[in-house]
Structure 1
Amino acid sequence: MEFLAKTIFMNTSTHLLNLLLSTLFITIMARVALPVPEALGGIPITGQSLAVLLVGLLLPFPWGGGAVLLYLLLGGLGLPVFAEGGSGWSSFSGGSGGFLIGFFIAALVMGLLRRRGWGQHLGYSLLANGLGTAVIVGSGLLWLAHLYGWGKAMEYGFYPFWPGAIVKILLGGFIAWSMLRNRKTA
């Protein structure tokens, strides 16, 4: 019985450490930004969604979603963790709100795909990152369409981001696969 208690505590403390480090990773990656010319929308492409997808696929379900939820709560409470140092609950009601909620949903989806071994095969890892990206973008576009209509949603939430999204899908798929290919699913 003592062994079981130690094992549970050790696994829980390891998961909590991973959750905190993953939240920090997302925060740091939100600061990594490639500028986009004003003619193409002017909205920088950040590493935020790449980090969310990696955390979701690399941590066992539901810990990746937990890390993203903690990230969102910290941002909502005013810590400048979102892209470009954004924060506050107003971030959820503005144009970024749908994307932020999509981060949480995508991380959960990625964790479920990990359970099915999707991170262990390059093709499935790429597909998982594509599906996670679709969840984030879809959630963001639905919210933007609600706020501004579909034309503006596509103009502000899709067209400036799709080239960067493809790069992040490829990069995230390869990174996750290289880290998970020899591991058991959890």
Structure 2
Amino acid sequence: MSTALPSNSLPVLADLVPSRVFRGALVRDAALVAGAAGFVGLAAQIAIPVAGSPVPVTGQTFAVLLAGTALGAWRGLAAMALYLAAGAAGMPWFADGGSGTGMPTLGYIVGFVLAAGLAGALAERGADRSPLRTAGVMVLGNAVIYAAGLAYLAYDLNIGLERAYEIGMQNYLLGDALKIVLAMGLLPAAWKLVGRRG
């Protein structure tokens, strides 16, 4: 499989990691995908319970969107697909050491796969190189995660979408805003550091 960039794509941060260090681009990409999945698994262990909700406050969404943006579309999607598949198979790296598929928060994890792919695709168009564009990537990525998460939460708990919003999104918006502000500083700063602002 070729790892060459499509002609209309800009490099993402992961493309700046020299492939010769890993004895080839395929090995490099596999290591980055596995590392990103592990990064999200670690971030999931920062889990603060929220009274009246099965959805804890975690570092996952920030890690997912940061990883997707840094890796690009296909590597970001692959990393979160690996995270989902390994966790579903029993790897205890979902929130608070959870695993399997029998949880009302599974939809959020499915949303991670889609959001990482979207964030990566936008990064390939230069959307991670300025604070405002980075904020747009993060907002869209969060919207995808919430869309999948709330839909499944409502289904699993047999509640309406309004109630799902109350217990699965409403109390998390301030934290999401803080994560977006952090990303607005981190990603453009990383590009400035490597001297490739777009």
Normalising by the smaller structure, the TM-score range is: 0.7 to 0.9
Superposition pairs of residues 49-128 of structure 1, within 5 angstroms? 49-90=61-102, 94-128=103-137
> Could you say which residue in structure 1 is the equivalent of 2:3?
none
Question: Which consecutive unaligned segments of at least 5 residues does structure 2 have?
Answer: 1-18
> Could you say which residue in structure 1 is the equivalent of 2:170?
159
Shift of 1:162: 1.2
- What TM-score do the two structures reach when normalised by structure 1? 0.84
Count of matched residue pairs: 175
1:178 & 1:34 partners in 2: Cα distance? 29
Amino acid at match of 2:93: V
1:153 & 1:142 partners in 2: Cα distance? 8
Stretches of 4+ moved more than 6 A in 1? none
Amino acid at match of 2:181: L
One of 31, 35, 50 as aligned partner of 1:17: 31
- Residues 18-74 of structure 1: CA deviation (Å, up to 9, x unaligned): 1111111111111123454x3x74843100111000010001221011111111111
Shift of 1:108: 0.5
- What TM-score do the two structures reach when normalised by structure 2? 0.80
Amino acid at match of 1:150: L
* Greater helix content: 1
One of 44, 48, 52 as aligned partner of 2:60: 48
Cα pair 2:72 2:119 within 8 Å, conserved: no
How high is the sequence identity, in percent, across the aligned residues? 32
Cα pair 2:54 2:105 within 8 Å, conserved: no
1:42 & 1:13 partners in 2: Cα distance? 38
Amino acid at match of 2:92: P
Shift of 1:184: 7.5
> Could you say which residue in structure 2 is the equivalent of 1:3?
none
1:160 is paired with a residue whose SS is helix
* 1:26 and 2:37 aligned: no
Which stretch of structure 1 is more off in the superposition, 43-52 or 123-132? 43-52
* 1:169 and 2:180 aligned: yes
Relative to structure 1, the CA distance from residue 142 to residue 156 in structure 2 (aligned partners, 3 Å threshold; closer, same or farther) is same
- Residues 117-136 of structure 1: CA deviation (Å, up to 9, x unaligned): 00111110111011101110
Amino acid at match of 1:112: A
